Structure 1
Amino acid sequence: MAEKDVFLTVEGLKKLEKELDKLKTVKRKEVAEKIKQALAFGDISENSEYDQAKNEQAQLEERIAKLEMILRNAKLIDDEDISTDVVSIGSKVVVKDLEYNEEMEYTIVGSAEANPYEGKISNESPVGKALLGKKKEEIVEVRVPDGLIKYQILSITR
């Protein structure tokens, strides 16, 4: 599988680097200790603690590999490169839902950093894709599973 560029803000990059460091230095030791304790129980053929610890180890190593791949392919979003004329990755966008007359603020980020609960939406999400390249006051139509949403862009900031 070809690796693609992963867009990250400075904040997102630091967060992922911190998580990777914790997984490698703290979590690996914890899992190794669990495996060691499970082996002390003897026969591993029917040792559920051993199986659980090995599964946890596999999940941990998978997450470490994923984070390393993300960081290897990271393209840093520099605040200076973020336009306030058109929506781009890194933009903070205030939109108005024209049906419900509600305002929402989104920050457009790369998929590795997306967290809708924090208002960070991916550039690959339906809303993120629809907003990219648009200007203030433009009306954007977004096809979602429930139908069509219309947003008006109220502001674009860094």
Structure 2
Amino acid sequence: MNRAPITQKGVELLKAELKRLKTVERPKIIDAVAEARAHGDLKENAEYHAAREQQSFTEGRIAELEGIISTAEVIDVSNLNVGDKVVFGATVVLEEDETGKEVTYQIVGDAEADIEAGKISISSPVARALIGKSVDDEIEVRAPGGDKVYFIEEIKYI
């Protein structure tokens, strides 16, 4: 079985979402289905069909989260002692060569990646280019908008 890496914080967030879905969302949906059933004919009852669709989506997400959590390899980033190399879980400050703009990314598992929050998947092109590199190294990333060159300014393990 292939165990997907995930940070300690990432697995805690997934467990919190799973708990919310099971304890808050699932009971709401059950109530909505029961209420819609009480309205009569189910064939033409849009509320019933919407509630069942939401139930299906929620149950699917619960199953997905349970699968991710059960097979995840949890890595505590704060316990990593790898010197000055970029590894899974590292937070990296990069400077774009062309613009001089700084961006900060944390390398995380696929299940917790969120570009808006600065978390990039270990399987992303940027993360793959960063792994094993050190401060002041230059990396080149092939992007849809063209190749980009970055310099590693700082590496943190938080």
> TM-score per shorter chain, which class?
over 0.9
Q: Please give the alpha-carbon distance, in whole angstroms, between the structure 2 residues aligned to 1:36 and 1:64.
A: 21
Q: 2:15 aligns with which of 14, 17, 41?
A: 17
Alignment deviations for residues 110-132 of structure 1 (CA, whole Å, 9 cap, x no partner): 11111111111111111111111
Q: Please give the alpha-carbon distance, in whole angstroms, between the structure 2 residues aligned to 1:141 and 1:107.
A: 18
Identity, % of aligned positions: 40
3-state SS of paired residue (1:31): helix
Corresponding letter in the other structure for 2:20: K
Alignment deviations for residues 10-49 of structure 1 (CA, whole Å, 9 cap, x no partner): 2111111111011011111000000000100111011111
| Structure 1 segments unaligned to the other structure (5+ residues) | none
Q: Please give the alpha-carbon distance, in whole angstroms, between the structure 2 residues aligned to 1:100 and 1:43.
A: 62
Deviation at 1:82, TM superposition (A): 5.1
State how 1:7-46 maps to structure 2 within 5 Å: 7-46=5-44
Residue in structure 1 matched with residue 135 of structure 2 by the alignment? 136
Residue in structure 2 matched with residue 103 of structure 1 by the alignment? 102
Q: Please give the alpha-carbon distance, in whole angstroms, between the structure 2 residues aligned to 1:95 and 1:84.
A: 18
* TM-score (ref. length: structure 1): 0.93
Alignment deviations for residues 30-74 of structure 1 (CA, whole Å, 9 cap, x no partner): 000000001001110111111101000000001001100110111
3-state SS of paired residue (2:39): coil
Alignment deviations for residues 121-148 of structure 1 (CA, whole Å, 9 cap, x no partner): 1111111111112122111000000010
Q: Please give the alpha-carbon distance, in whole angstroms, between the structure 1 residues aligned to 2:120 and 2:142.
A: 16
Residue in structure 2 matched with residue 85 of structure 1 by the alignment? 84
Q: Please give the alpha-carbon distance, in whole angstroms, between the structure 1 residues aligned to 2:41 and 2:120.
A: 48
Corresponding letter in the other structure for 1:87: V
3-state SS of paired residue (1:112): helix
| Structure 2 segments unaligned to the other structure (5+ residues) | none
3-state SS of paired residue (2:112): coil
Residue in structure 1 matched with residue 46 of structure 2 by the alignment? 48
Q: Contact 1:10/1:77 (CA < 8 Å) preserved in 2?
A: yes
Deviation at 1:4, TM superposition (A): 3.7
Deviation at 1:81, TM superposition (A): 2.4
